Amino acid sequence: MLRYLLFAVLMLHGAIHLAGLFTPVAGRVMAIDRAPGIYWAVCSTLFGLSALLLVLHEKHWSWVALLAALSSQVLIASAWEQARFGTILNVVIVLTVLVLLFVKEAPVMFRD
């Protein structure tokens, strides 16, 4: 159950990152801002990959999740006014992953 809850959080945060791919442009509803948009899309992909690895019981899912959360925080800092609330999800993800990495008796559903 907890594995799937973390899966959902990772996927949700990755989906939210796709919003960074688009930026409002005067005269048009939305347009793709290429350089920053690519970084947001890559970060979204990292969250999706970590979620997939988690569900497939791959042992390196946690490192991908940490990389995704840290990359996400860098992007959030660059767009703080619009994206600051993503920090809450990043903190939850990082703390969860660190607990699962360093607690000797991780819950059964997280053991590899």
pLDDT of residue 27: 47
pLDDT tens, residue order, the chain (112 aa): 788 899 999 999 999 888 877 665 444 554 455 667 788 889 999 999 999 999 998 888 999 999 999 999 998 898 888 888 989 999 999 999 998 888 766 555 555 4
Its pTM stands at 0.81
Domain ranges in the chain are: 2-105
Point out which residues pair with 28 in neighbouring strands. Answer: 25
Six-digit token pair at 15?
A: 């989906």
67 and 60 in contact (C-beta within 8 Å)? Answer: no
pLDDT of residue 72: 93
pLDDT of residue 20: 75
